Structure 1
Amino acid sequence: MTPPKPPSPPPPPVPVPNPSTFDPTSSATHDSTCPFCTISKTYPPYDPSSPPPPSSRSISPSLTSPNPCTFMLLSTPVVIAFLDIMPLSPGHLLLCPRSHRPKLTDVTPEESAELGRYVRVLSAAVSRATGIRDWNVVQNNGAAAAQVVPHCHFHVIPRPELRDKRAERFTSTMFGRGQRDELDDEEGEALAAEIRRAVGEVLKEDEDKSEEEKRAKL
């Protein structure tokens, strides 16, 4: 009889550097002309299961001023996520590696694993925060494939039902058509805080589920 396989070890905890000593040049590589690298260099990592409060300076939207405000949703040593400043729908977000990687084929195996993990977590979190149950995950590579910023990134784009009043504002922009409006600062700050909170909830539930599965195998 084949003995049962031992349970898989839980993922290692995310290291949380001290924001006051954060050195964005220590491991990540950046392109000085890339707007996503600017965000990466500006915002230190934090523990996504216990995000800082909205009042924390470490996630202040104005840190990227005079460039457009940045509404952070996730910041680990490997990946970052933030709201799109020209959203196709409420909660439209971008997830990318902290280091400058022009295309998906340029990311490292570690970055690829982290991106895959958080595409799922952010999808669940934005759905909770907005109440929108359907969404697209889009990832473009190169100008011919409609990639505008040459820094690998995933779009998570909620798709409200047509009967949802929020859909009226975005009906003409479904799948990229029509005029896109810039994200309102007050709306963005409130929504970002709600998504960060939901990210923490999803990660806590994942941890609890992992513990339950380990106990069930004992």
Structure 2
Amino acid sequence: MATTSEDGGSSLSTFSVSRSFDPGRAPSNEDCPFCVIAKTYQPFDPSNPPENSHEILRPEATSPGPATFILLSTPLLVAFLDILPLSTGHLLLCPRAHRPKLTDVTPEESQALGHYLRILSAAVTRATGVEDWNVVQNNGAAAAQVVHHMHFHVIPRPELNVRNGGSGRETFTATMFGRGAREELDEDTATRLAEDIRASVAEILREEKSKL
């Protein structure tokens, strides 16, 4: 049962049913789907991701919920592909600990989020070839937050079209964030994409370290 939400990717399918997820209330750690993901996958060195990633980062490990495709897993943070992506490469980045809103994160987590938000933006651009993207973060139900575990969306935006209706003026159109039909993540595509993004993260971190 797939659902679509205005916040661009926090709606859940099997997880919401199997864990009695109620978007109208802030869940405890036990029934928060992002906490389940954080507890399931152990941290790894992002500059040297696991070689046998399918065995260590098994997407099906979150069963009976949707498969989880991990991109980053540090002692403080976890990032994974959105299960109802707005575009190829749509990912979520959140603190490993249960933090309902941005104002709930610790200073250390805030620093790590800022650092890896930049790294993941560069990595998804490198992995997908799409050079424009949205970064979106919602706080509270009135702000369209569906999963009450603070998270950032990084969303590649390849849909920009340029039109010239004969007036000599260019008109730019793009799909609005959170609008339109969305399909569940294709697992074969997601496996390859997650590997490419993890490899890109590692490559970027090594490049930056070499410049120090």
Q: Taking structure 2 as the reference length, what is the TM-score of the superposition?
A: 0.79
- Matched with 2:72 is 74
Is the CA contact 2:159–2:175 (under 8 Å) kept in the aligned structure 1?
no
Is the CA contact 2:160–2:174 (under 8 Å) kept in the aligned structure 1?
no
- Matched with 2:184 is 182
1:58, distance to aligned residue in structure 2 (A):
2.1
1:166-210 CA-partner distances (Å, limit 9, x unpaired): xxxxx9964111221100010111100000000000100110111
Larger Rg: 1
Distance 1:68 1:126, change over 3 A: same
Is the CA contact 2:127–2:196 (under 8 Å) kept in the aligned structure 1?
yes
Distance 1:69 1:88 in 2: 17
- Matched with 1:203 is 205
- SS where residue 175 of structure 1 aligns? coil
- Matched with 1:91 is 89
Letter of the 1:177 partner, please give it: R
Letter of the 2:99 partner, please give it: R
1:36, distance to aligned residue in structure 2 (A):
0.2
1:74-119 CA-partner distances (Å, limit 9, x unpaired): 0000000000000001000000000000000000000000000000
1:13-37 CA-partner distances (Å, limit 9, x unpaired): xxxxxxxxxxxxxxxxx70110000
Distance 2:200 2:57 in 1: 16
Is the CA contact 2:159–2:174 (under 8 Å) kept in the aligned structure 1?
no
- SS where residue 43 of structure 2 aligns? coil
Higher share of residues assigned helix: 1
1:53, distance to aligned residue in structure 2 (A):
2.2
Distance 1:143 1:180, change over 3 A: same
Distance 1:58 1:98 in 2: 18
Distance 1:181 1:174, change over 3 A: farther
Gaps of 5+ in 2: 1-27, 162-172
- Matched with 1:18 is none
Distance 1:31 1:84 in 2: 20
Higher share of residues assigned strand: 2
Distance 1:111 1:160, change over 3 A: same
- Matched with 2:4 is none
- Matched with 2:124 is 126
Q: Taking structure 1 as the reference length, what is the TM-score of the superposition?
A: 0.77
- Matched with 1:58 is 56
Distance 1:116 1:201 in 2: 19
Aligned counterparts, 1:7-86, within 5 A: 31-86=29-84
How many residue pairs end up in the alignment? 174
Distance 1:129 1:174 in 2: 23
Q: Structure 1 residue runs of 4+, over 4 Å off? A: none
Aligned counterparts, 1:147-162, within 5 A: 147-162=145-160
Gaps of 5+ in 1: 1-29, 164-170, 211-218
Is the CA contact 2:71–2:197 (under 8 Å) kept in the aligned structure 1?
yes
Identity of aligned residues (%): 67
